[in-house]
Structure 1
């Protein structure tokens, strides 16, 4: 079985920035144990596995080095980018979109002049008091607002400097019952982005994620309500940094709210995975964890 492999920097148009993701293009489904071994070997926060599409749809799964997750934004962006490159190499007709069948339902990636557009379910946070010890574990001042999405705690702190200065205690954070913690603040008016954020998820083996698409499914609705705009730009202020452009469409009646995330990608490595799906380490059993 020949397996094309890509290492892609997502949510950036410059090498060595954004969020790196591995992508394997599979001719057929592979065992979860093998995929978990590959993700651990690659060592990126996520590795995506795409079963080569038949027509418009393709199956997609995501693995951190320790767990399978049910949603990952940057690895979906990387998967869409890598799939188009793979199909160009095989002289397939250039596609304008792909629908990924995932554990979070059908996710559409559309290729546009403004970059790849991902259509994800919104994950709007609701107000909630943070549990005892969470603010101290994040090393932040008292938040302006705190709340919980389906996946994460979201803490709005007073200034972007508070976001950048945070140095969370990862051991302490890993004890809280949450996928992760989002820190965010409004950007100054002269900035080219509307808000900044950082994201910490030690419970799923990712102490700090460089750029987190799924976190922007909560950040988009939150900042739309605060700023009164449906088109926003977020900057994730990790050491690598990355930009996520957001559009929040009005949902049709009786439909779930969606978030459109736009981003660019850089291909860093392209090659062929050598270890076949029957080459699996004995301790590589995949665990199911929340999305990233």
Structure 2
């Protein structure tokens, strides 16, 4: 065996966590990188690109909580649900002396995550969607031209169809979706064993399809809460890979409850 020697670069902890699932290889994988202090933005973006997951979360201690940032392989984003859940899971299950209530300062304001049995509950700002006139290429890019739909928008376009099987069968033109002005596109329908199902596509932020998008549910939960006349909802998202979450619409806030599983723990060199 040939002996090798690693270069004396900076080493950082790294976790890969499957969020919104109770089993490995389910839900939505996110990388979580604890830091003592912020690295240059270019380094954070390079780490996220190297991880090549839909999101990499970085956090540093800040007062009685943490500062939290999220990066796709292409850009920094304002809000990410599954990587927040993954980060909180790492703090609670992989680090010592975690508080009962986690506080995160983010580009979307202060977010909190609380323990609830074997799950965690995230408290996010609600973003109720409003009806809109869709771009002329949207439905064609989704393969839904001629299909009865309702289109709304918040941060994303939200396309509502009547059949969960139609959501499952989507094979959109990702290049065509990349030219649209909003962050991404969620397609949703009533569920059978759950209140609603969805899929989310975000090529504008470097994520062709995200298996479980917590941030999209800050708009999906208010919509389905009003339509179904209930504040607590069970949701499932994804195509080939899926995850589940519980949503509670509470006026100005949406609470998202889910579990996670640590798949990988190691160190990276930068």
TM-score higher than 0.5: yes
Give the TM-score of the pair, scaled to structure 1: 0.86
Contact 1:211-1:238 at 8 Å conserved across structures: no
Cα distance in 1 between the residues matched to 2:46 and 2:147: 41
1:74 aligns with 2:79: no
Cα distance in 1 between the residues matched to 2:93 and 2:238: 29
Post-superposition Cα deviations, 1:47-102, rounded to whole Å, max 9, x if no partner, equal 000103543x10000001111111101000001011223423xxxx2421211010
Q: CA deviation at 1:143?
A: 3.7
1:200 aligned counterpart, secondary structure:
strand
Contact 1:4-1:86 at 8 Å conserved across structures: no
Q: How does 1:1-292 map to 2 (within 5 A)?
A: 3-55=12-64, 57-88=65-96, 93-140=97-144, 141-149=146-154, 151-188=155-192, 191=193, 193-249=194-250, 251=251, 257-275=252-270
Cα distance in 2 between the residues matched to 1:94 and 1:158: 43
1:36 aligned counterpart, secondary structure:
helix
Q: CA deviation at 1:33?
A: 0.8
Structure 1 gaps of 5+ residues are 252-256, 276-292
Give the TM-score of the pair, scaled to structure 2: 0.93
- The more displaced of 139-148 and 171-180 is 139-148
Q: Number of residues paired by the alignment? A: 260
Q: CA deviation at 1:239?
A: 1.2
Q: CA deviation at 1:146?
A: 1.3
Structure 2 gaps of 5+ residues are 1-9
Distance 1:96 1:131, change over 3 A: same
Q: CA deviation at 1:166?
A: 1.1
Q: CA deviation at 1:123?
A: 1.0
Cα distance in 2 between the residues matched to 1:34 and 1:261: 30
Q: CA deviation at 1:114?
A: 4.8
Contact 1:115-1:263 at 8 Å conserved across structures: yes
- The more displaced of 224-233 and 114-123 is 114-123
RMSD: 1.3
Moved over 6 A (4+): none
Post-superposition Cα deviations, 1:25-60, rounded to whole Å, max 9, x if no partner, equal 0011211111111101111100000103543x1000
